[in-house]
Structure 1
Amino acid sequence: MTTLTHDPARTAPAGRPQNMRGPRLGGTAWLVWRQHRAAFWTMIALTILSVAVMVYLRGQMTDYMDSTSPKSTGLPPDFETYTNRLTDFGGYLGYVPLLAGVLLGAPLIAGDLESGTAKLVTSQSVSRLRWLTTKLAMPAALIALSTAVLAAVYNWWWSPIKGRGETLEWTAGMFFDVTWVMPIAYALLTFAVGVAVGMLLRRTLVSMVVTLGIVVAIGVVWDRFRLSLGHILSVSTDKGVGPGATRPELPAGAVQQGQGTYFITDSGARLDWTACLDKIDNDKAHTACLESQHVVGWSMDYLPISQMHTMQWLGAGLMLAATAAVVTFIIVWGRKRLL
């Protein structure tokens, strides 16, 4: 004789299948997870895989550094393989905002509008505001968490050689845009833009294509604007510019800005390095030309690595402000004209 001591039908929450896999959610949160679980699990899996690869490659790099020149302030010899791995992986991480906008943002609402799911859901007891906020909040939280983890691990990988190689310029997108707070803000902005485009165009494929173009345009503008967030400093010499005269030495980790090296006069004015270039084949004429211009040394502009975090916070703040504006538009427009 068998006695039933546990009835799954009685203990399972109403409205949720007994064999459901994944987080125990309810209401619209459960619906959003079910709709996009493939994309969410893919994001989680790629994050874990990327972290594992970065931890492994960092271990190889530090082992090589310890075995060659553990006390050196520069990079070990034949280190190009390890720096290439670092920069290549940073380049791959630079595509995260693009993927967030095109693959997650654009189809998020456009797919529901195209298939009629949005009309079905909002015709029930769920308000448009609740549905919109849930649709936005869940992917945004996963994007923020994933990019934060990737940024932290990549920065950890980079930290042993940060500022130690002339080719590892921290102002490059492969470092500046994928460390600290920047990738979080960048990915959230492109995600919000993709959602807004999808809501307006109402067609998944068209929205993805348009979002791709907008995100690329944002990247181009950002690349040109990024360095203007910093405060450019100068270093100069006053020991002449002839043979044997040394040029200014930049601080460790600094990145040279502008055209390069300038001439500096005894009054502190700067001349372009092309001054007297037409007489460079004649040493005496060239020297006389420089003396007539009262040139006494060199001058160079640079951005110190100490400004990196400040610039990233400024950039992230601007992107998050733009994200908030886009989200506000989505909520206001969606509550009134979504269907």
Structure 2
Amino acid sequence: MSTATEPRATGAARRTAGTGRRGGLLWVVWRQNRGMALGLLALLVAGGIGMAVQRGAMAGYLAEHDIAGCALISTDPRCEGVREAVETFRSTYGNGFRLAQMLLVMLPALTGLFIGAPLLSRELENGTHKLMLTQSVGPLRWLTAKLALPAVVVAVTAAGLAAGYLWMWRSGGQETLGAYWYSDSGFLALGPVPVAQSLLALAIGTLTGFLLRRTVASMVVTLGVTGVLTFAFIQVRQYLLPPVTTDFPHGGTVPDNAWVLWEGSLTTGGDHLPRGTCSAGPGMQECLVAHHVDGGSYVVQHPAAHHWPLAWVEAGIALALAAVVTAVLYRAVRRQFA
């Protein structure tokens, strides 16, 4: 009787042991990262509540004073005499709004610095990874388990905060808040960009930590690399989509929410004369006459309609870079522990 049931019991024990090993890896990863995960989720909840309160207060002020869409200087007849109300709106709600914006701007760097860089370097520096790799856990499986939880929590947190910021930003209006989509900090805080940049910073920090195997050194290098990449994105952003050139032969200007790249004068033949060709000074008028400038102007700009295409293109580039960095990381881990 016992002989008949023994194989089944042995098989069940083996299945249980296998499940335990799988559960053990996930449990260890959770124990190692639960502080990070709970901290980010707490940040998401606190940030979401703060943005909702801020958004409600801003919407109430705008409705009470009827200044939605009014800038400090506006050509809209409805906005005449509201300069003081707009100034009060900006001084009252500007600090809270900029705080939320700065949080999203800094989130990628903080992710790479405090989550990505120590993720593997701490274990490699202390040698604790050896215990996990000797428990029938392959190096790629170990790496996947280490990366999965931080990546999911970072993506959820960044997406939630970006959605709350977008909701608040839209309620305040670009003109009334003075926070235009094309500003460096504004673009980095809106839409998919902070999510993609945070995942890229996580991948860079993790790869750096694996290669250097020193936590402090990895944090310093990660901060430098993410800073350089952020600066590079700012420099190339205007070239991600072809800009629009608008001629104003009889005067005029583009909307306030257009991202003006450069401008100049129109000649009588319809050619474009960049600003600065005729420098200010005694000979400026003679220079303009020599170039047949007739008083018209032109503007090269990204209209507000370009915001989301530009954001998705930049986010796509960041995600592609994150995928490349992650692939390099997997290859390095496989070669190291093969």
Which of the five TM-score ranges fits, normalised by the shorter chain? 0.7 to 0.9
1:64 paired with 2:61, answer: yes
3-state SS of the aligned residue for 2:31? helix
Equivalent residue for 1:221?
232
Q: Which amino acid aligns with 2:268?
A: D
Distance in structure 2 (CA, Å) of the matches to 1:104 and 1:276: 53
Partner of 1:80: 90
Residue of structure 2 equivalent to 1:7: none
- Mapped to 1, the partners of 2:44 and 2:182 lie a distance apart of 24
Q: What is residue 243 of structure 1 aligned with on the other side?
A: none
Q: Which structure 2 segments of 5+ residues have no match?
A: 1-15, 72-84
The question of 1:43 aligning with 2:40 is answered yes
Task: Give the conservation status (yes or no) of the 8 Å contact 1:171–1:227.
Answer: no
Does the alignment pair 1:101 with 2:112? yes
For 1:184, what is the secondary structure of its paired residue?
A: helix
**Residue 315 of structure 1 aligns to which amino acid in structure 2?**
E
Q: TM-score under structure 2 normalisation?
A: 0.83
Contact conserved, 2:166 with 2:190, CA < 8 A, in 1?
A: yes
The ranges of structure 1 where at least 4 consecutive aligned residues each deviate by more than 3 angstroms after the TM superposition are 13-16, 274-280, 285-289
> What is the alpha-carbon distance in structure 2 between the residues aligned to residue 74 and residue 146 of structure 1?
32
Higher helix share: 2
Q: For residues 1-339 of structure 1, what are the structure 2 equivalents within 5 Å?
A: 26-69=23-66, 72-75=68-71, 76-78=85-87, 79-81=89-91, 82-165=93-176, 167-239=178-250, 246=251, 248-251=252-255, 253-258=257-262, 261-279=263-281, 287=285, 289-296=287-294, 297-338=296-337
Residues 258 and 304, structure 2, Cα contact 8 Å, conserved in 1? yes
- Which amino acid is 1:209 matched to? V
Change (3 A) 1:251 1:166: farther
Structure 1: how far apart are the matches of 2:160 and 2:103?
A: 15
Deviation of the 1:286 alpha carbon: 5.5
Q: Distance in 2 between matches of 1:230 and 1:332?
A: 34
How much identity, in percent, do the aligned residues show? 32
CA–CA distance in 1 between the matches of 2:306 and 2:214? 43
Gaps of 5+ in 1: 1-12, 17-24, 240-245
- Counterpart secondary structure, 2:260: strand
CA RMSD in angstroms comes to 2.4
What is the rounded CA distance, in whole Å, between the counterparts of 1:141 and 1:213 in structure 2?
Answer: 24
Distance change in 2, residues 1:129/1:289 (3 Å): closer
> How many pairs does the alignment contain?
306
Give me the whole-angstrom Cα distance separating, in 1, the residues matched to 2:268 and 2:120.
64
- The answer (yes or no) to whether the contact 1:112–1:118 under 8 Å persists in 2 is yes
